[in-house]
Amino acid sequence: LKRSFYRRPLPAPCVAFSSERGKVLFRESLLAGDAESYYALAEQFRTQEEPAFCGLSSLTMTLNALGCDPGRIWKGPWRWVHETMLDCCQDLEKVKKEGVTLPQLACLARCNGTQTVVKYAADGFDVDELRRDVIASCRSADQVLIASYSRRELGQTGDGHFSPIAAYHKPSDSVLIMDVARFKYPPHWVTVDALYAAMLRVDAVTGRSRGLMLVRKADDAAGRTVLFVVARTQWSKLRSHLERSVKSVIDACLCDHSASADDSKQQLEDGVAQCLLTNPDCVLSTFTREFGLAVSDMPAEHIDLVRQLLNELHASEAHKFFAKSLSSSENDVDEEEKKKKKKQKPSVKVADGLVITEADVRAMMLLAAPDWVFDSLPANLRSVSRIRQVDPQSTVLAAEVKTLRAQLTDMTAVAATASAAASKKKNPAKPASSSSCKC
């Protein structure tokens, strides 16, 4: 026990929520209507389960407070958000050691049915804008502000930390931080100026200042996919996998000196489309496969949406291309090879009469791939994007593509940031923290 701690004394000028001064601030905040977000957050207030889970716990509180249905089982028959379910943008074992960065947490928020805005304190975001964002969030039950800040600036031990803001007190210009590390510090009040100064501190992992996230529940048509999800096991390899796939196709086409210029152009366009991913299943999966859901777990109205999605996908130019090219390639192999291929990439049954095929996954991958994949091609070869267009009347498909593309764009950006941070650690110009969260 000599090397253990039971909480830490809250340093001045922080004001404990349960202190006499803290009670006065809270009562006045309630009467002024500046603590509307407190109620839902208080219902979901939790203590982070791991020393570096401040980001995940803050987001778990927020998602449950906003009523975001995760669309998957937590325990028993219950759908509920728990820290251990927030694993689409970062491996949980790695989070236990290092925590998450602000862009990683935003990625997680968007993957879980929210519309999230990220602001960095040093990027033209001043203290007055922070105050406006705090007031707007605290007066609303539909938006939560999660602060990313350095404890050191507040005189606390540790460094990088995340916690939601639940109330604002105008006379003292203070905010109530619902500190998720309750084993260390209680909820407490700090001034907006002090919080902004704590946000200005640079996160050594990202090389950027800290800041905030404004999180709202997404509309029913946005933020939540109907069928396809990003495979959780491969997210960190997305960018390099996409880059390698496109480069290999370009190299193969450019090495075919027997083809005419027009043939090479067409070959390259078709090759990029067909071989966008050597194995698209490692990037895109389905709810039924990824979370082990049975057909009986899906309500009838959801199965109807899946059916509409697949009908719209099958009518798309992307699906027609893959259905034709895969059919042609199958005709070129013998029966033994066909059996082997079928065994390697089996179709996935979602419900009676609904089967996900390789063409479905490839088409959706092409439609949902981040724009930068195609921007990296020479300008005269970008016409491959013609088969990425979605009919505006295909509303379910359009929503699915929009959500997946945003998630893949987020994840590849996060992966690139993580890769750059790893390179920086190998050759640091100055000592840097090995963790983004030091609660």
What's the CA gap between 402 and 407, in Å, rounded?
9
> How far is Cα 238 from Cα 21, in angstroms, rounded to an integer?
51
What one-character-per-residue DSSP string does 340-382 give?
Answer: HHHHHS--EEEETTEEE-HHHHHHHHHHHS-HHHHHTS-GGGG
> Are the beta carbons of 165 and 38 closer than 8 angstroms?
no
Please state the separation of Cα 68 from the chain's center in Å. Answer: 14
**Which residue, among 86, 67, 61, 74, has the nearest Cα to 181 in the 3D structure?**
61
The DSSP H or E segment spanning 16 is strand 15-16
| CA atoms within a 13 Å half-sphere pointing along the CA-CB vector of 4 | 3
CA distance 209 to 224: 30
Looking only at the bridges linking them, the beta strands covering 188-191 and 174-177 are antiparallel
Helix orientation angle between 395-426 and 300-314, rounded to the nearest 10 degrees: 90
Strands 160-169 and 211-217: unpaired
Q: Which residues contact 199 (CB under 8 A, 6 or more apart)?
A: 121, 130, 147, 148, 149, 150, 209, 210, 211, 212
Q: Which residues are catalytic?
A: 54, 161, 179
Q: In angstroms, what is the C-alpha Rg of the chain?
A: 25
Q: Is 189 helix (H, G, I), strand (E, B) or coil?
A: strand
